[in-house]
Structure 1
Amino acid sequence: MPVTSKTQTHLTSAAIPTRDAFFEPLFARQSAWPLIEPGPGDAELELIFDAALRAPDHGRLRPWRFAFIRGEARVDLGEILIDVAAARQPGTPRSSHENRREKAFAAPVIVALGASIVAGGPIPELEQMLSVGAATMNMLNAIHALGYGGFWATGIDTYDEKLKAALDFEPDDKLLGFLFIGTPKNQERTAFRPPRAQHFREWLGRTSI
């Protein structure tokens, strides 16, 4: 029976599943590169995007602003990437930036990760950007659960105002990176996970005043 808000119960330590249908894919998720066809279709993208909209959202500000690019639109994206690279280096010939076009075809689907920040209010801007990060992580988990690969990248284009404007984000929006989605070319790669003890500790209360 599916667990709902009405039927959910706490599990005893003895009953906590470690490798069930939920935890197995979660523990196996990793960044995948390079990414090739096929990419997710419309129905799968809806699942991925719906997962994003379940991210924590302090103040219900809904700061998530995502633009996804696929198909022939990647041709225009490639031209834009060349244009903004040339604008960053005035005096260089546009042809010298042709390699930038490759980024537009690095995956079947590319999601530009934007944040619409409410400044000066009670919710810190950092918390709003963290909500976009949480939404992106939800997408990465959903991508993996559907059998695809995802790669979250930033780089110089992320912080280029001309690129942000070309992708039709609002002037006050922040671009936080790009999520590349497709089928992993290398299916054999396994991710290293560090020991828990290096990153988690139990705080046992105050030891001194």
Structure 2
Amino acid sequence: MAQASSVSPLNVLLDRSSTGDLVAPAPHGDVLARILSAGLRAPDHGHLCPWRYVVITGEARPTFAEHVVAAVARQEPEAPEKKREKRRKRFSETPMIIALGMHLRPDHKVPVMEQEMAVAAGTMNVLNALHMEGFGGVWISGAFCEDRSLLSQLGLEAPHRLAGFLLVGTPEKSDRCHTRPDIGDYMAFWDGQSPIAFGADDRRKER
């Protein structure tokens, strides 16, 4: 019988960091379904279920990469060729790409911003689930994510939008945890008397 891990779930989350240095394999089958299901556990005011995940793998990647490059050319005509080639390479070679669709309802009483936050919260759940299953990912976005032709390729007709893409695979380096700031600089206790101040803000003033 396998021995239970002594590492707590919280410590696993504290070790998570984004990485674009990804190689095969990427999750598939039931594992992928469970990882994406974690996204659907995010807070969702109004139960609108705004999450839409489009998975791009295998031979579809180079084809989709050309759509991305074309979107960059339309949205950022001044972008250097080096930037376009970087997009082409990443979308062609990363083991898996997950488009983060936002199925929005502007006419609903729940503000659009809250619907977008539900998608963002779901994306963080997916990143955490990837990490907990031994995979890795990085969340990317840019002006090209607003390109309506690209969004149409992903089944996201107006008013629906895109929160970006997750590039997914297995981290090339096992020890990838980046140093995080001290939480003491980013939290405060409200007592109703003293003004709130954050160490992080003071440090920025010093720069």
TM-score (normalizing by structure 2):
0.81
Does 1:192 pair with 2:183? no
Q: What is the 5 A alignment of 1:83-102?
A: 83-88=70-75, 99-102=86-89
1:146 to 133, 141, 147: 133
Q: Aligned residue for 2:67?
A: 80
Task: Indicate which of 24, 29, 42 corresponds to 1:37.
Answer: 24
Equivalent position of 1:53 in the other structure: 40
Give yes or no for the alignment of 1:25 onto 2:12.
Answer: yes
Cα offset, 1:141, TM superposition: 0.5
Alignment gaps of 5+ in structure 2:
1-5, 196-207
Instruction: Give SS of 2:117's match.
Output: helix
1:61-98 Cα shifts (integer Å, max 9, x gaps): 111112111111112202212333344477xxx9x955
- State the SS of the aligned residue for 2:68: helix
Runs of 5+ in structure 1 lacking a partner?
Answer: 1-18
Q: Within 5 Å, which residues of 2 pair with 1:171-190? A: 171-190=158-177
Deviation >4 Å, runs of 4+:
96-99
Question: What is the deviation of 1:167?
Answer: 1.9
The one-letter code matched in structure 2 to 1:101 is: R
Kindly tell me: are residues 186 and 123 of structure 1, through their superposed partners in 2, closer, same or farther at Cα, counting changes over 3 Å?
same
Tell whether the 8 Å contact from 1:111 to 1:180 is kept in structure 2 after alignment: yes
Spell out, residue by residue over 1:16-57, the C-alpha distance to the aligned partner (whole angstroms, 9 max, x if none): xxx843112111000012111111121210111110110100
Bigger Cα Rg: 1
Question: What's the % identity of the aligned pairs?
Answer: 37
Residue in structure 2 matched with residue 108 of structure 1 by the alignment? 95
When the two chains are superposed, the root-mean-square deviation of aligned CA atoms in Å is 2.5
SS in 1 for 2:46: helix
